[in-house]
Amino acid sequence: MRHFEDNLRAAVEDLARAAPPMNDMAVVARIRGRRIRRRRQAVTGAAVMLLAGAVITPYAVLDGHRDGQRPQPVDSVPTSKAPAVPLPSGPVTVPAIRADWWKAPIELPGGVVVTSVSRPNTYNDDGTPTFTGDTPRDGNVALNRLTGRYQVFPVKYQVFEAAPKGHYVLVEDESMAGGYVPVGIVDAAYNGAQVLTHGSGLGTEWSPDGKKVALTTSLGNLRIIDAKSVTEKEREIPGGRELCPDTCTFTWLPGSKEVALPQRDPDVAESESVPDTIKEIKVFSAATGKLLRTLPIPGVPTGSAAWSPDGRYVALRPDATAPDGTRIAEVATGRVVTTLPRAGQVRFLADDQVLALNGLDVTVYDLTGTVRATSRLPADFNNREVSLGIS
């Protein structure tokens, strides 16, 4: 700052002096050069002073001018919210699955992955099963989550259903003598297999976390199979079979701690030609078998994947009111919010969307029934059972 003031003072003095003798051109040139330099230095210094003031002033204001008085806050100006990204006007077609699909996980819309594909169920003329299929294209294959590839397993397994998470597969060993088909658990990552001493009862369902299987016994009781230890515990469900509809199996609710069992309406006569009318669904503790609550849901869930992750909605099987459709109902009220085309397998996704598998066609709907995405499974999957899970 001191050099700036000296230069400014010198520039003013030069301007005030008389002009030098004209005959000394060298002196004139030196003086003019010095004046020009000092003028430039003065202008530059003034600009620096202005910039310094502009920078220093806000800090002085924020510091309350050193008098203890801080500025009063002003009302903030609301910022405009960024507009939402519009949804596609039409369905999104997912890229085709590679021909050698077994070399990588098959990923479908909504973070869904194919976890297993069973061999085709074919039989000889005498009704005995034909044990064929030992390649990915025609055998029992499950996703090995350690290698990221699909691995072929023995063809003797009639039922071959991988868990939605983890690396366990529920099987039924059709090779046992005397037509006895016991349930077992296969480890798809480490190739271990353990077989239980009974069949699948009225039906089995994997828990959403892939750690347990809910087996519905012929008496309507609940049997929980631990996939890791292949041990089981049975819970008696009083009156479990009393109002059982045509399809009467326990399904898991989100969280893998509760199971649900549909109950038909006793005031409506049963008929062999039409599905039973469902009045409600009872929810039980998987740990104790205790009845926890009753939900006014008018239908049979399509499976454990039928419940939305937040528990607000459930996909229901076709009934007399919608013989060719999959209904989506509110869990709290039982109100049907939409009816989708009938599908062989339904899985609720996040963001209130539903993935439906019908043959080889994969379709994702929202709760208005609008198609959001489509895909198609490989032709190798024709006439085979496909299990879906979370990637």
Q: What is the DSSP string of 332-389?
A: TT--EEEEEEP-SEEEE-STTEEEEEETTEEEEEETTS-EEEEEE--GGGTTS-EEEE
With tokens 């059972």, the residue in question is 385
Of the listed ranges 46-50, 212-216, 285-289, the least confidently predicted one is: 46-50
Residue 71 lies in a domain: no
Domain tally for the chain?
2
Which range of residues forms the domain containing residue 218? 96-390
Q: Are residues 24 and 140 in the same domain?
A: no
pLDDT score at 54: 41
Of the listed ranges 135-144, 267-276, 370-379, the least confidently predicted one is: 267-276
Residue 88 lies in a domain: no
- pLDDT, tens digit, for every residue of 182-207? 999 999 999 899 999 999 999 999 99
Q: In 3D, which of 159, 174, 166, 143 has the Cα closest to residue 204? A: 159
Q: Are residues 124 and 39 in the same domain?
A: no
Q: At which of 66, 85, 104 does a domain end?
A: 66
Sign of CA dihedral 371, 375, 379, 383: negative
Count how many Cα atoms sit within 13 Å of the Cα of residue 13 in the half-sphere of its side chain. Answer: 7
Q: What's the mean pLDDT in 312-332?
A: 92
Residue 90 lies in a domain: no
Q: How far is CA 161 from CA 58, 126, 170, in A?
A: 69, 26, 5
The two tokens of residue 210 are 């892939």
% of the chain with per-residue pLDDT over 90: 61
Residue 85 lies in a domain: no
**pLDDT(30) > 50:** no
Q: Are residues 17 and 162 in the same domain?
A: no
Q: What's the mean pLDDT in 324-347?
A: 95
User: What's the pLDDT band for 45 if we cut at 50, 70, 90?
Assistant: very low
Residue 294 lies in a domain: yes
pTM here is 0.75
Q: What is the DSSP letter of 203?
A: E
User: What's the pLDDT band for 69 if we cut at 50, 70, 90?
Assistant: very low
Residue 304 lies in a domain: yes
**pLDDT(36) > 50:** no
Of the listed ranges 58-62, 133-137, 258-262, 382-386, the least confidently predicted one is: 58-62
**pLDDT(384) > 70:** yes
Q: Are residues 113 and 30 in the same domain?
A: no
Element (H, E) at 187: strand 183-187
Q: Are residues 199 and 298 in the same domain?
A: yes
Q: Are residues 37 and 133 in the same domain?
A: no
Q: How far is CA 130 from CA 123, 125, 134, 152, 174, in A?
A: 5, 10, 12, 17, 10
**pLDDT(1) > 70:** no
User: What's the pLDDT band for 274 if we cut at 50, 70, 90?
Assistant: confident
Residue 131 lies in a domain: yes
**pLDDT(352) > 80:** yes
- pLDDT, tens digit, for every residue of 101-132? 999 999 999 999 999 999 987 778 887 777 78
Residue 72 lies in a domain: no
> CA-to-CA distance for 25 and 34, rounded, in angstroms?
14
Q: Are residues 38 and 173 in the same domain?
A: no
pLDDT score at 90: 66
Using only C-alpha atoms, what is the Rg of the chain?
A: 38
Burial 58-85 (b: 16+ CB within 10 A, else e): eeeeeeeeeeeeeeeeeeeeeeeeeeee
Q: What's the mean pLDDT in 148-173?
A: 95
The two tokens of residue 226 are 């631990």
Q: Are residues 37 and 100 in the same domain?
A: no
Of the listed ranges 2-16, 23-37, 133-147, 153-167, the least confidently predicted one is: 23-37
Q: Are residues 31 and 169 in the same domain?
A: no
Q: Are residues 351 and 223 in the same domain?
A: yes
Q: Are residues 59 and 103 in the same domain?
A: no
Q: Are residues 45 and 161 in the same domain?
A: no
Q: At which of 48, 66, 84 does a domain end?
A: 66
CATH number at residue 363: 2.120.10.30
